[in-house]
């Protein structure tokens, strides 16, 4: 069973992904684009006051993480 996805702002999500080795390379409109050297995927994090839970779950999955791993890095 999946863990509960936390309610975070876009900036807080970026902070957690940075702690996990992702790098913010640019901002496109209201989204922050993040990359990681050994990953093919890029993350497009919305720079919103509150990131939707489904969006955050999708970003975590794209990064190859579980919700528990993401929360532990918070």
Question: What's the pLDDT at 8?
Answer: 97
User: pLDDT tens for residues 1-36?
Assistant: 458 999 999 999 999 999 999 999 999 899 999 999
CA distance 74 to 71: 5
Question: What's the pLDDT at 28?
Answer: 87
Q: Rounded to two decimals, what is the model's pTM?
A: 0.93
Segment 44-58 shows an average pLDDT of: 97
Of 63, 29, 69, which Cα lies nearest the Cα of 46?
29
Question: What's the pLDDT at 1?
Answer: 47
Residue 5's contacts (CB-CB under 8 Å, 6 or more residues apart) are 53, 56, 57, 60, 67
Segment 35-57 shows an average pLDDT of: 96
CATH code of domain 10-73: 3.30.920.30
Q: Helical H runs in the chain?
A: 10-19, 53-62, 67-73
């Amino acid at each position: 069973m999946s863990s509960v996805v936390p309610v975070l702002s876009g900036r807080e999500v970026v902070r957690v992904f940075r702690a996990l080795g992702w790098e913010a390379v640019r901002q496109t409109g209201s989204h922050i684009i993040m990359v990681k050297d050994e990953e093919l995927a890029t993350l497009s994090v919305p720079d919103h006051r509150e990131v939707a839970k489904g969006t955050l779950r999708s970003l975590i999955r794209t990064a190859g993480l579980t919700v528990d791993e993401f929360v532990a890095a918070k």
